[in-house]
Each structure stands twice: as C-alpha cells, then as structure tokens.
Amino acid sequence: MNAVLPKIKVTVLFFAVLKDATGLKRLEIELERPQTCGQILRGLSDQFVNLSGLLQHCRLAVNGAFVDPSRVLAGGDELALLPPVSGG
Amino acid sequence: MEKNAYLTDAPILAQPFMAEFSAAAGASILFFGIVRQLSHGKHCHYLEYEAYEPMAVEQIESLKSEALQKWPLEQVTILHRLGRIYPGEIAVAIDVRSAHRDDAYQASRFLIEQIKHQVPIWKKEYFEDGTCAWGGCETTQSPETFDSNQWQWSRERELANELF
C-alpha cells in the first residue's frame, strides 16, 4: 500500500555574499515531500551557520520570477536566493 | 565579449554609442555609470560584477518594454558590464533617444534607478588596503545608510517577518 513517492529534486542558487558564505554556487536538494521556499530557507540556515543574518535580506526567485516564501516548490524548480542587488 | 544584448564581459566603449543618430530622434540622452575610485571613504582597486544572468536579462528586457510603453521613445540601448572592472571604466551604459528631450531624460532616469534596485547584478569591491566587500549588503553598510535602496530594505524586512 505504501508506494514510495519519487523525491522532488530542486536546485538552490547562491549569489554574491551568499556564495561566499556557503562556498557554493548551487546546491541540489532532494525533498521527500513538497516544501515551501520558506521551509527550504530554514533548512539552509540550519545547515549553513554563516547564512544566519543574510537570508532575511534576500528576495526569492523561482525559475527566474520573484516569489513569496509561501511558494511551494515542484520538481526541477530552481530557487535563487537574491541578496540586495548592487548593479548600475 | 557580449554575452547577450544587455550583459558583457568586455569593456564598454563610449564611442560606438555616439556613432549613428537618426533624424527622427531630436534628443539622445546617453548615461554612463562609471566605477568611482573613492567608495565609502576607501580607495577602490577594482570591482567584480556578477549576475543571475537569465533573470537579469529578462528584467532588463522588461524594464526596457516598460520604458517604451511609458514614453514615446525612438530607441533604447542598455549594456551592463560583468566581471572585473577598474575605476574610470564604464559599468553601465543607457542610451535613450526620443523625438523630444523630456521623454528621453525621464526614461533614462527611470531605467538607471530601476536597474540599480531591481536587476539581480552584484558588485564586489576590492579596496587598495586589501579588504573587499559586497555592495548592497548589510555586512558592509547598515540599512540606515542605504538610502537609495530604502524601499528594498523595507520589502526585505517584510519578507523576513514572513519567514522567521
């Protein structure tokens, strides 16, 4: 009866100060069940202590479009964590 | 080399922007953002720009469309540097042409302000004293001194409240 659900694979992208804090440009994550972006961030802040204090200043984008933390991630989604921008 | 219409790893040269003018546009406002040597009281050795490139391109494209809808413009050209860039070099070029000057002035200002506040591009400043810092980050500037991005900090506080 208990079918094994396929895991949901998502990619997290780190830029600028977040890239330096984690030492990563990207991270592949496998989720057992659907999670919101906010839940992912909480997991990341547990995993990377250097991120504490930085994530709260980030905007979030999924597949190149801004989203709220309540957005639920689907398989193949690309979650980008965008610290305050400084182009121009 | 130019990676696409809006982002380039190569030095942005001023001259090509002044090469051709059409008779339809009575006004051409050319804005260059230049890397300043003095930054927060420190001497900048060089900067490195990075971008979330697909999103940055889409955002710039969208801002260009918005400008073309808001003002009757003949032509809009936007080019932003990525990679290492030194003081005195051009970081961003915005060329706006319209029949009359008011529209070009307003659209030019709109575009540079939106690019600075919206588009996912970041600079890391490397100073002559050997230190470095990401621009726009709380680790280098307090939100209170971050006046040009006030709206953004308040938006991020909202997000933070939703998150934690």
pLDDT at A52: 79
Q: Is residue A27 part of a domain?
A: yes
Q: Is residue A65 part of a domain?
A: yes
Q: Is residue A3 part of a domain?
A: no
Task: Tell me phi and psi for residue B53, to 5 degrees.
Answer: -60, -50
Q: Is residue A1 part of a domain?
A: no
- B19-60 tens-digit pLDDT: 889 999 999 999 999 999 998 889 999 999 999 999 999 999
Q: Is the pTM of this model over 0.90?
A: no
Give Rg (Cα) of chain B. 17
Domain ranges in chain B are 7-136
ipTM of the complex: 0.91
- A40-49 tens-digit pLDDT: 999 999 999 8
Q: Is residue A55 part of a domain?
A: yes
Determine the Cα–Cα distance for residues A19 and A15; give it in Å rounded to an integer: 5
Q: Is residue A47 part of a domain?
A: yes
Report the gap between the CA of A3 and the closest CA in chain B (Å).
32
Task: Tell me phi and psi for residue B82, to 5 degrees.
Answer: -125, 165
Q: Total structural domains in chain A?
A: 1
Residue B103 predicted with pLDDT over 90: yes
Cα A23 to Cα A51, B84, B119, B120: the distances in Å are 11, 20, 23, 19
Q: Which residue has the tokens 């001497």?
A: B43
- B108-139 tens-digit pLDDT: 999 999 999 999 999 999 999 999 999 875 44
Q: What is the CATH number of domain B7-136?
A: 3.90.1170.40
Q: What CATH number is associated with residue A75?
A: 3.10.20.30
Q: What is the mean pLDDT of chain B?
A: 85
Residues of B in contact with A68 (CB under 8 A): 159, 162
Give the closest of B121, B139, B157 to A17, CB-based: B139
pLDDT at B40: 81
Q: Domain residues for A76?
A: 8-82
Residues of B in contact with A70 (CB under 8 A): 162
Give the closest of B50, B80, B149 to A84, CB-based: B149
Residues in chain A, pLDDT under 70: 1-3
Residue B153 predicted with pLDDT over 80: no
Average pLDDT of the residues in B94-107: 98
